[in-house]
Amino acid sequence: MIQVKGLCKSFDDFTALSDLNVHVETGSIYGLIGVNGSGKTTLIKHLTGVYMPDAGQIEYDGEDIYENIGVKERLGYIPDDLYFFNSYNIRDMASFYRKIYPRWNEPRYQAMLQEFGLSERRKISKFSKGMQKQAAFILTMSIMPDYLILDEPIDGLDPLIRKKVWRYVVSDVAERQMTVLVSSHNLREMEGICDYIGILSGGRMMIERDLEELKTDIHKVQIAFKDQQDRSFSDLNILHREKRGSVELLIVRDSGDHVKSVLKKEDPAVLDMLPLSLEEIFIYEMGGESSEIQSILF
């Protein structure tokens, strides 16, 4: 389990994180989303023990991460801004990782190398950005981490490779109860992978929910009536309401049964309840189609 309590961080006069709380269950995949500048990378750098918090705690199964070698040995991290030693190839980096990570898995390393088809001897600096990400992924997964922190990991990867990457991640989560926190702008992809979602805005956590719960609590309803009478639907928590001709589109945050029972009383001609995508949930939960929210979409 990864627990962040009351995390605060300021840079000069700018408050990057303010009383932030994050909870990541063991063996789950937590998706961290937010607009640019919301504090995702700053949070991640605290989670990986790079930054010193101004206040608050970051714990991995009850142990503070900062300056904790024991936790870091079990922590895998792939940053957005990759770094490898100059002039090194994957083999050289693997050799170094082998010496500092006690749970280095050589057979897995070799298998992944083969599966991803990367040259072991070619300098990593000569790889494309996507290939460098693959190299980083291979090395990180080969250390058999209990915790995996991924900062925009799938940027630059083609669909086939993305599928392989997620396969490894999901497999380790299922088999070894690996705990994963992934930050990304690709909400469609996150929707298919994540168990939990945390939405960050202005250095604060706006929403942190189980994804399925989030989906069951918010609905898109298309409804039409025979008459043109205005109806308030005051018993419902309507996030968004829009009329398209004779059909009204409602985004409602309420349980599905309650929504159905309230609407059926009005004897609609048409009543359809449709699932929302994570994108739509995000947009409407964050307060509509503001430019800030639009910017988070892929």
Partner 1 sequence: MKSKAYCSNFFSVPLAMENMKRFWAIGVVGLLVYLLSGVFPLILSYDEIQPYMIESIMNNHNPGYMAAHLFLAISSAVAVFRYLQTTGSTSVMHAMPFSRKGLYLSSYWSGLKLAYLPAFLNGLVLLLLKTPVIQTVYVDNLPIQTNIYTTAAVLGWMAEVLVIITFMYSIAVFAGMVTGSVILHALTALGFNFLLTALYGTFLGYSEIYFFGFTYNQLISEIALRLSPYTNVLQREGVIQPKAWLVYMAAAAVISVGTYFIYKKRPLEKATDSTVFRFMEYFISFLVVFFGSSLIGMVFHEYDYGYAGYIFGGILGFLIGQMIVKKTMKIFDLENLKAFVVFAAIMAVIVVGFSMDALGYERKVPNPDSVATATISSYNLTPGNMPSAFSEKDNIQLALDFHQAVIDGRAEYRDYLGAGFNVTLTYELSSGRQMSRRYALPYAAIMDSDALRQLYESAEAEKPAETLAQFHIPNTQIVLYPAGYSSKEPLTMHYTDDDASNLKKQTLLEALLLDLKEMTFAELVSGRAPVLQLEILHRTKTEDRTSDAPVETYPYPKEKEDGNYRYESYSYSITADYAYTLRWISDNELSHLLISADERDFAVISRQCMAKDEESEEMWGYGKYSSIDVKPQSGSGSLVLEDPSTITLLLRDYAQRDLRSFDSEADALCLTLYRGADYQDYDMYETTDRYYLNEGDLPEGIRAETDRYLSD
Which residues of the shown chain bind partner 1 in the complex (CB under 8 A)? 11, 45, 48-52, 67, 69-70, 72-73, 75, 77, 79, 81-83, 85-88, 96, 99-103
Check if the beta carbon of residue 135 is closer than 8 Å to that of residue 84. Answer: yes
Rounded Cα distance, 219 and 274, in Å? 6
Of the pair 49, 218, the CB lying nearest partner 1 is at 49
Residue 218 β-bridge partners: 253
Shortest Cβ 52–partner 1 spacing (Å): 8
User: What distance, in Å, lies between the first and last C-alpha atoms of the chain?
Assistant: 30
Rounded Cα distance, 34 and 198, in Å? 8
Shortest Cβ 150–partner 1 spacing (Å): 12
Stated as kind and residue range, the H or E segment containing 249 is strand 247-253
Shortest Cβ 143–partner 1 spacing (Å): 9
Shortest Cβ 106–partner 1 spacing (Å): 12
Rounded Cα distance, 242 and 265, in Å? 20
- Sheet with 63-64: strands ordered across: 14-24, 2-11, 55-60, 63-64
Of the pair 92, 191, the CB lying nearest partner 1 is at 92
Of the pair 103, 176, the CB lying nearest partner 1 is at 103
Of the pair 67, 158, the CB lying nearest partner 1 is at 67
Shortest Cβ 45–partner 1 spacing (Å): 6
Of the pair 10, 246, the CB lying nearest partner 1 is at 10
